[in-house]
């Protein structure tokens, strides 16, 4: 089975809780046996990312963006590291770098991201504080395909949570994150099941 196994590569920058949720769903739901797919590697642009220590036995690697003079040079090195696994799907999970158009084009159709807002609202950073400042009554997260326009691309799934009285950006982020951990593995499993990638 090994040589026919499809690979997923997950890119992280921080705590890696979405990555851990995906790795655990793959184990719990027997993706190798059922879908012929495994999480082959977790790669971070931050060598000290906490998530690198939470990869549940998956191979980890750091490609430190600070070691490269240009965004193009970093993306080329990252692409080289990823392509060693010939992945069917590349999953951005709290990966906090803007990717070059060449990189995005290389992975067209097999690159997805999770963003902590109900896109197209609140692209970019500080999404939870901005949702609170705007007086939103609901917030959430979006799984989408990655195109060279930041936080655009086909929406694959969304989860909605209420904004509650007294919420801070931190309490809202935590409520949204629990839903991210549910929808991201679901989207990945259904993409692979459908043979979309
Ligand atoms: C998640 O909330 C994710 O949606 C967000 O960063 C967090 C990473 O948490 N991603 C972005 O803001 C992408 N622009 P995690 O490292 O624990 O998965």
- Domain segments of the chain as ranges: 2-194
Query: Residue 143: beta bridge partners?
Result: 114, 157
pLDDT in tens, 104-147: 999 999 999 999 999 999 999 999 999 999 999 999 999 999 99
Q: Is the pLDDT of residue 197 over 60?
A: no
Pocket test of ligand 1: the residue of 94, 139, 174 to mutate, having most ligand atoms within 8 Å of its CB, is: 94
**Cα–Cα distance between 145 and 136 in angstroms, integer?**
25
Residue with more model confidence, 3 or 37? 37
Looking at domain 2-194, its CATH superfamily turns out to be Formyl transferase, N-terminal domain (3.40.50.170)
pLDDT of residue 132: 98
Tell which atom from ligand 1 comes closest to the C-alpha of 180: 4
Find the distance separating the first CA and the last CA of the chain, reported in whole Å.
19
Q: Band of the pLDDT at 1, cuts 50, 70, 90?
A: very low
Share of the chain above pLDDT 90, in %: 93
Model-wide pTM > 0.75: yes
Q: Can you list the positions of beta strands (E) in the chain?
A: 6-12, 37-44, 59-62, 89-92, 111-115, 138-145, 155-162
**Cα–Cα distance between 31 and 70 in angstroms, integer?**
37
Structural tokens at position 21: 């949720």
pLDDT of residue 145: 97
Residue 11 CB burial class (10 angstroms; 0-12, 13-18, ≥19):
buried
How far away, in angstroms, is 181 Cα from ligand 1 center? 10
Calculate the average pLDDT of the chain.
95
Share of the chain above pLDDT 70, in %: 97
pLDDT in tens, 141-190: 999 999 988 888 999 999 999 999 999 999 999 999 999 999 999 999 99
- Going by C-alpha positions, the residue among 11, 183, 180, 181 that lies closest to residue 89 is 11
Tell which atom from ligand 1 comes closest to the C-alpha of 115: 4
pLDDT of residue 21: 98
pLDDT of residue 95: 97
How far away, in angstroms, is 1 Cα from ligand 1 center? 33
How distant, in Å, are the alpha carbons of 36, 41, 43, 63, 164 from that of 9? 14, 5, 7, 14, 36
pLDDT of residue 3: 56
Structural tokens at position 121: 């609202």
Q: Is the pLDDT of residue 101 over 80?
A: yes
Q: Is the pLDDT of residue 82 over 90?
A: yes
Structural tokens at position 185: 């593995």
């Amino acid at each position: 089975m090994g040589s026919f196994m499809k690979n997923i590569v997950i890119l992280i920058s921080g705590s890696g809780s979405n990555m851990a949720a995906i790795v655990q769903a793959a184990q719990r739901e027997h993706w190798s046996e059922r879908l012929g797919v495994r999480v082959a590697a977790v790669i971070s642009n931050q060598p000290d990312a906490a998530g690198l220590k939470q990869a549940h036995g998956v191979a980890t690697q750091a490609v430190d963006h600070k070691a490269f003079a240009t965004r193009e040079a970093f993306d080329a090195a990252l692409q080289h590291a990823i392509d060693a696994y010939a992945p069917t799907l590349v999953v951005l999970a709290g990966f906090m770098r803007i990717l070059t158009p060449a990189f995005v084009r290389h992975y067209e159709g097999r690159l997805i991201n999770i963003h902590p807002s109900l896109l197209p609202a609140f692209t970019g950073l500080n999404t939870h504080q901005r949702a609170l400042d705007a007086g939103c009554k609901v917030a959430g997260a979006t799984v989408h395909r990655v195109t060279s326009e930041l936080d655009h691309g086909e929406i694959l799934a969304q989860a909605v949570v209420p904004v509650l009285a007294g919420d801070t950006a931190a309490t809202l982020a935590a409520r949204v994150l629990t839903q991210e951990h549910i929808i991201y593995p679901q989207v990945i499993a259904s993409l692979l099941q459908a043979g979309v990638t």
